[in-house]
């Protein structure tokens, strides 16, 4: 219970937030540009992690593994878009939910078939293990700090991509007026495949990076997917800015809640009970946050779509 | 003023830099058809939205039969007697004509939290709806699904839906849109008979119909009413000729 | 103008349409008949396993009937119905836990003991699920479309994580039910719910009742308003009926039905765990509704039969059966929009 703990937990919160942003940005882009709700986004997270683990194990290089993971996720994303997703753009959301739910089943069981049920081993390279000492004598793992750095770099890159490039211009045009960009002669189906693959690559990157921290196993994408949904609902579906803000908010609130709520309840409860109540409440905290935000802003903080 | 059914007083609505409604006052009296015309972009839809309840005015108020309805929901206004038809058909396509029309009757009779009695055998519900249909000469189509109707018939059903509310005032948004000369003539005839019971605020593009039907006409340009009077006055008004008739395809 | 008084008195009434012996009627009767007869036959042949399998189908079908009311009839794509299924289950589990321990469930502001009376448990499950749905629905129904889907999902996850981390009732390990709950009848007779066939018949009665109530309700004024809210809510509002309360009430009824199914499921298995609350189950329930045919009275039943059969028999052949479920589901969504009932019984008149 000190400043050190607070700094450490804040950093953990930001780290969770940046990884959530990698997931949420793809989801929100796909929804903003194509109007599609994609449950299978968590599968790309898993694909990225598995490919990274497999390639890292065979080459011995984490960086090559990471590149392979992102590439695999992007390729799988593009393939899925070509085979299934493009049939769903003009369908009701219910159909989109079910078809992408079907994709989750296919990906999860397929992965279990190929790799088995036990988790794969993936750890960060030796040059990323260890601690740094931050001001205030906080010792913090280098790898987690690196995750924050990657998250920030990707946020900036995405911002530049969307605001400064031709592709970004088309994405923005697609968000505001889907018919319009067709009329402008932009090849919509190519754009859609590209955006979808980009989102998948980011999800795959997140999966690989987090996989090295936790474990690489079937179903790993699902809790993250649901957190990412909470993020984009809070931020406003279709808004990248909202996704960034929502991700940081969810990351920090969730992390701090898990640490401080049990401590808080110990002030007036026996410790064993306080831990139970505190952790149960902490698990609900971000959903309560979401409910409160929606009660005031039913379309999220930065709604891009009506 | 006491016999005014619907009255708009000094309505203002602004969207960003655009002044969509600028100090509009209008009224509707018993037994009349009051037409609201104006070129595209004049702010007609915004004004209708403020009367019907999907847009809140920034300033000003709307009264229906003496009670202020400015901040009421669409449904509350309807129950107070504001019947409305839409520019684009808003009927539930897969359902029968009757199922569409009877909703208004259901709203008037009581709340809809009645779970047991089947509506298909409910005379109390169906007979008034049937009567509203008969008024629009469509009783023979009562149990036809809407998607099988012709365009003109749909227009008539829209009006019948509004009539099922036993309205004090009707707000008809381009009821003639897309009708051929025959359908247009038929609807004109039906509306003429109707106005004696329910006054009608008619928003219409079809100038022919407007000049034949309307007792009074208001002309909306750039959010403001620029002229007001009977069809003769409006035809002669130089500002109207310039702003509207001069450069429009009507 | 037409003189309405000269019209025949019956002119306004709907033409008679129900023909119980057309193709659709026959398929429906066959489905329900087989569901009743096969377990009875299995019971007397001594195959208790199949009786319990039929109970499982029946209960899942009932949960799907609840969801179908929200999705199919009300157009509210709830991705969180596992919350009500699980809550119903926990009501049964927690009640039995306290009845077994002879401890009160709560003591303040008034004392509530546990109960082994099924009627009490069912009523409590339906009431609590209705209440939960009232809160969740009141917030979620302010939004539409994708927001609604994600928010219902998120709220269900909230309940899931709560059950997972709340240690009193087993946390993530779940809660076993050690006593057999009983159903009191007239003259102080007790129906022994531990008999597999008796329990199946209880569930079957519940399913038939839930379907009958749904069917009757959808023909009423409330059903008419709900149908209009799904097809065209602007039309409904313009006709003077606010869509929001109509939807909310339908959502609550839907949750209560699914919650009752959850309570039945807990007693069938003698066990509740957070798995009943998981988002996977919400998804599977949706799959069942869609496989069967969304918005059709017998759709949930057809879907549940198909789903549980696939799970049981395909699952017996390969542990990766969900891969095939995924492929089937993908095929149905992309190419066969009207589900099993649409295929067996022809399209619905009002589709």
- ipTM, two decimals: 0.89
Query: Do the chains contact at B165 and C242, CB–CB below 8 Å?
Result: no
Which residues does chain B have within 8 Å of residue C224's beta carbon, measured at their own beta carbons?
99, 102-103, 106, 112, 119
Reported as a single tens digit per residue, the pLDDT across A169-184 is 877 776 666 666 666 6
Tokens of B112: 């809809």
Same domain assignment for residues B113 and B174: no
Q: Do chains B and A touch (3 or more CB pairs under 8 A)?
A: no
Select the residue from C64, C154, C282 to test the A interface by mutation, using most A Cβ atoms within 10 A: C154
- What b-and-e string marks burial along B161-189, b requiring 16 or more CB atoms within 10 Å of the CB? bbbbbebbbbbbbbbbbebeeebbebbbe
C310 touches chain A (CB under 8 A): no
Residue C16: closest C-alpha in chain B: B120
Residue spans of the domains in chain C: they are: 47-277
List B12's β-bridge partners, or say none.
B59
**CATH at B184:** 3.40.50.300
Domain boundary among the residues B166, B191, B211 is at B166
C45's CB contacts (< 8 A; 6+ apart) are none
d(CA B135, CA B83): 15
Residue A188: band (very low, low, confident or very high) from pLDDT cuts 50, 70, 90 = confident
Same domain assignment for residues B75 and B173: yes
Closest C-alpha among B6, B75, B88 to residue B47: B6
Residue B150 lies in a domain: yes
Question: What are the angstrom distances between the C-alpha of B37 and each of B61, B193, C189, C303?
Answer: 21, 21, 77, 55
C242 touches chain B (CB under 8 A): yes
C160's CB contacts (< 8 A; 6+ apart) are C82, C83, C86, C274, C277, C278, C279
Same domain assignment for residues B31 and B149: no
Distance of residue C147 Cα from the nearest chain A Cα, in angstroms: 7
Contact A167, A161 (CB under 8 A): yes
Same domain assignment for residues B77 and B180: yes
Contact B73, B53 (CB under 8 A): yes
d(CA B138, CA B130): 9
Same domain assignment for residues B40 and B77: yes
Three-state secondary structure call for residue A294: helix
Residue C5: band (very low, low, confident or very high) from pLDDT cuts 50, 70, 90 = very low
- Show pLDDT as tens, one digit a residue, over chain B (250 residues): 458 899 999 999 988 888 889 999 999 999 999 999 888 878 888 999 999 998 999 999 999 998 999 999 999 999 999 999 988 888 999 999 999 999 999 999 988 898 888 888 888 999 999 999 998 888 899 999 999 999 889 988 999 999 999 999 999 998 888 888 888 888 888 899 898 889 999 998 777 788 888 999 999 888 899 888 888 888 888 887 777 655 544 4
d(CA B52, CA C35): 52
Residues 11-40 of C with CB under 8 A from B: 11-15
C52's CB contacts (< 8 A; 6+ apart) are C196, C200, C268
d(CA A228, CA A232): 6
B17's CB contacts (< 8 A; 6+ apart) are none
Residue B176 lies in a domain: yes
Residue B86 lies in a domain: no
Closest C-alpha among C122, C105, C61, C86 to residue C273: C86
Q: Give the residue-averaged pLDDT of C185-207.
A: 82
Same domain assignment for residues B135 and B147: yes
Domain boundary among the residues B134, B149, B166 is at B166
Tell me the pTM: 0.91
- Mean pLDDT rounded to a whole number for chain C: 87
Which residues does chain C have within 8 Å of residue A37's beta carbon, measured at their own beta carbons?
146, 149-150
Same domain assignment for residues B175 and B140: no
Domain boundary among the residues B151, B166, B181 is at B166
pLDDT surpasses 70 at C41 = yes
Q: How does DSSP assign C150-190, residue by residue?
A: HHHHHHHHHHHHHHHH-TTTTGGG-EE--S--EEE-GGG-E
- Count of domains in chain B? 2
| Residue B113 structural domain | 92-166
Contact B139, B73 (CB under 8 A): no
Closest C-alpha among B45, B57, B35 to residue B219: B35
A136 DSSP 8-state letter: T
Lowest mean pLDDT among A106-115, B209-218, C173-182: C173-182
- Give chain A's domains with CATH numbers: 3-296 (1.10.3470)
Subunits with 3+ Cβ pairs within 8 Å of A are C
Distance of residue C222 Cα from the nearest chain B Cα, in angstroms: 5
Between these two residues, C7 and C73, which has the higher pLDDT value? C73
B228 DSSP 8-state letter: E
């Amino acid at each position: 219970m000190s400043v050190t703990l607070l700094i450490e937990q804040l950093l953990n919160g930001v780290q969770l937030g940046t990884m959530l942003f990698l997931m949420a940005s793809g989801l929100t882009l796909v929804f903003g540009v194509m109007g599609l709700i994609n449950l299978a986004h968590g599968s790309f997270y898993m694909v990225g992690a598995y490919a990274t683990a497999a390639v890292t194990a065979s080459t011995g290089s984490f960086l090559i593994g990471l590149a392979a993971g992102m590439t695999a996720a992007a390729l799988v994303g593009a393939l899925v878009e070509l085979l299934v997703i493009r049939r769903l753009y003009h369908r009701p959301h219910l159909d989109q939910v079910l078809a992408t739910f079907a994709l989750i089943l296919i990906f999860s069981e397929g992965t279990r078939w190929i790799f088995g049920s036990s988790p794969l081993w993936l750890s960060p390279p030796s040059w990323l293990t260890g601690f740094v000492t931050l001001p205030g004598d906080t010792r913090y793992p280098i790898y987690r700090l690196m995750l924050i750095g990657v998250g920030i770099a990707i946020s900036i890159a995405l911002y530049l991509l969307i605001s400064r490039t031709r592709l970004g211009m088309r994405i923005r045009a697609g968000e505001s007026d889907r018919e319009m960009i067709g009329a402008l002669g932009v090849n919509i189906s190519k754009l859609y495949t590209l955006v979808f693959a980009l989102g998948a690559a980011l999800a795959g990157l997140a999966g690989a990076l987090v996989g090295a921290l936790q474990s690489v196993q079937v179903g790993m994408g699902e809790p993250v997917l649901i957190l990412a949904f909470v993020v984009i609902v809070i931020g406003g579906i279709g808004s990248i800015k909202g996704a960034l803000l929502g991700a940081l908010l969810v990351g920090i609130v969730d992390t701090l809640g898990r640490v401080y709520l049990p401590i808080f309840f110990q002030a007036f409860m026996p410790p064993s009970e306080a831990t139970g109540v505190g952790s149960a409440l902490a698990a609900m905290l971000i959903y309560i946050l979401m409910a409160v935000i929606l009660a005031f802003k039913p379309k999220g903080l930065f709604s891009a779509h009506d | 003023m006491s016999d005014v059914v619907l009255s708009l007083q000094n309505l203002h609505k602004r969207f960003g830099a655009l002044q969509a409604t600028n100090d509009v006052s209008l009224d509707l009296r018993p037994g009349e058809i009051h037409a609201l015309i104006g070129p595209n972009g004049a702010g007609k839809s915004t004004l209708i939205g403020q009367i019907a309840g999907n847009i809140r005015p920034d300033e000003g108020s709307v009264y229906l039969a003496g009670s202020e309805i400015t901040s009421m929901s669409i449904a509350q206004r309807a129950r107070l007697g504001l019947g409305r038809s839409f520019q684009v058909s808003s009927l539930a396509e897969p359902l029968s004509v009757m199922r569409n029309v009877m909703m208004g009757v259901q709203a008037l009779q009581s709340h809809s939290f009645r779970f047991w009695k089947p509506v298909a055998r409910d005379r109390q519900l169906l007979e008034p709806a049937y009567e509203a249909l008969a008024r629009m000469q469509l009783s023979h189509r009562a149990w036809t699904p809407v998607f099988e109707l012709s365009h003109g018939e749909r227009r008539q059903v829209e009006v019948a839906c509004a009539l099922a509310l036993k309205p004090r005032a009707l707000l008809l948004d381009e009821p003639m849109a897309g009708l051929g000369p025959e359908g247009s003539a038929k609807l004109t005839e039906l509306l003429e008979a109707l106005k004696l019971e329910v006054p009608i605020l008619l928003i219409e593009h079809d100038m022919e119909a407007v000049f034949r039907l309307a007792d009074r006409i208001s002309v909306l340009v750039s959010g403001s009413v620029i002229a007001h009077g009977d069809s003769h006055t409006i035809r002669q008004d130089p500002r109207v000729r310039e702003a509207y008739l001069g450069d429009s395809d009507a | 103008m037409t003189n309405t008084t000269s019209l025949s008195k019956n002119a306004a009434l709907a033409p008679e349409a129900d023909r119980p012996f057309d193709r659709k009627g026959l398929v429906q009767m066959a489905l329900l008949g087989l569901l009743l007869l096969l377990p009875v036959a299995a019971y007397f042949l001594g195959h208790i396993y199949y009786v319990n399998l039929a109970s499982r189908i029946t209960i899942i079908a009932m949960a799907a009937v609840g969801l179908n009311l929200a999705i199919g009839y009300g157009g509210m794509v709830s991705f969180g119905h596992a919350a009500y299924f699980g809550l119903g289950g926990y009501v049964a589990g927690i009640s039995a836990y306290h009845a077994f321990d002879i401890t009160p469930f709560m003591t303040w502001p008034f004392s509530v003991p546990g109960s082994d009376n099924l009627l009490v448990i069912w009523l409590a499950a339906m009431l609590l699920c209705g209440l939960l749905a009232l809160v969740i629905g009141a917030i979620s129904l302010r939004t539409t479309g994708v927001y609604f889907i994600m928010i219902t999902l998120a709220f269900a996850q909230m309940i899931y994580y709560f059950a997972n981390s709340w240690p009193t009732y087993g946390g993530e390990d779940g809660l076993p039910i050690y006593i057999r709950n009983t159903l009191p009848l007239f003259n102080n007779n007790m129906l022994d719910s531990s008999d597999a066939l008796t329990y199946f018949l209880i569930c079957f009665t519940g399913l038939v009742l839930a379907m009958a109530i749904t069917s009757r309700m959808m023909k009423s004024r409330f059903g008419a308003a709900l149908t209009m809210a799904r097809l065209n809510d602007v039309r409904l509002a313009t006709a003077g009926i606010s869509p929001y309360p109509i939807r909310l009430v339908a959502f609550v009824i839907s949750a209560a039905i699914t919650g009752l199914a959850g309570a039945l499921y807990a007693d069938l298995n003698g066990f509740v765990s957070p798995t009943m609350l998981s988002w996977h189950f919400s998804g599977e329930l949706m799959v069942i509704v869609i496989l069967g045919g969304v918005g059709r009275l017998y759709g949930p039943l057809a879907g549940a039969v198909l789903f549980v059969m696939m799970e049981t028999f395909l699952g017996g052949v390969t542990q990766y059966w969900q891969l095939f479920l995924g492929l089937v589901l993908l095929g149905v969504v992309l190419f066969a929009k009207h589900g099993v009932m649409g295929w067996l019984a022809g399209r619905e008149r009002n589709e």
